[in-house]
């Protein structure tokens, strides 16, 4: 693990292919090339953020402790910021102030509500079908 090596955004951006894939997460550089075929979310999600700051995407998913442990094994260095580089987003303060993206768990209630609506709709459709069947017999 070469966590002492420093990379600029420009250097990291050159590592965005399947065989050479670097990610910036919390200003640390990770080489995800060896993990791309094993990533449970598929290679596309890693390639979409390859050579870029993937902090927000990584945190939005809510990775497990095991995923974070795997990440430590991929560490190759840290980001050396230069003037003009994109600034990191302070996710914690955005969430506390209500601006920015919401935690992934906030959408859970909406997903449950969708299932309830579908289930009620299916029950109503079944009831209407049964009613029509009884009317046909009369």
pLDDT in tens, 81-99: 888 777 766 544 444 444 4
Instruction: Tell me which residues of the chain have a pLDDT lower than 50.
Output: 1, 91-105
Query: Which residue in this structure is represented by tokens 């303060």?
Result: 93
Q: What is the pLDDT of residue 89?
A: 64
Ordered strands of the 16-17 beta sheet: 6-7, 75-79, 28-31, 20-25, 16-17
- With a CB cutoff of 8 Å and minimum separation 6, the contacts of 114 are none
Q: How far apart are the first and last CA of the chain?
A: 80
Q: What is the pLDDT of residue 1?
A: 47
Q: What is the pLDDT of residue 43?
A: 85
Q: What is the pLDDT of residue 109?
A: 65
Half-sphere exposure of 2 (CA within 13 A, CB side): 9
Our CA angle for 120, 126, 132, nearest 5°, is 135
């Amino acid at each position: 693990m070469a966590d002492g090596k420093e990379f600029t955004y420009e250097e990291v951006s050159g590592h965005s292919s399947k065989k050479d894939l670097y990610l910036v997460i919390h200003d640390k550089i990770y080489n995800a090339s060896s993990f791309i075929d094993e990533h449970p979310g598929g290679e596309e999600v890693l390639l979409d953020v390859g050579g870029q700051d993937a902090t927000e995407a990584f945190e939005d998913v809510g990775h497990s402790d095991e995923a974070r442990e795997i990440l430590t094994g991929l560490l190759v260095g840290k980001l050396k910021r230069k003037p003009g580089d994109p600034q990191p987003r302070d996710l914690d303060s955005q969430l506390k102030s209500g601006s920015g993206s919401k935690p992934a768990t906030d959408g859970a209630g909406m997903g449950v509500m969708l299932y309830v609506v579908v289930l009620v709709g299916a029950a109503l459709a079944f009831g209407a079908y049964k009613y029509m069947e009884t009317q046909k017999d009369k």
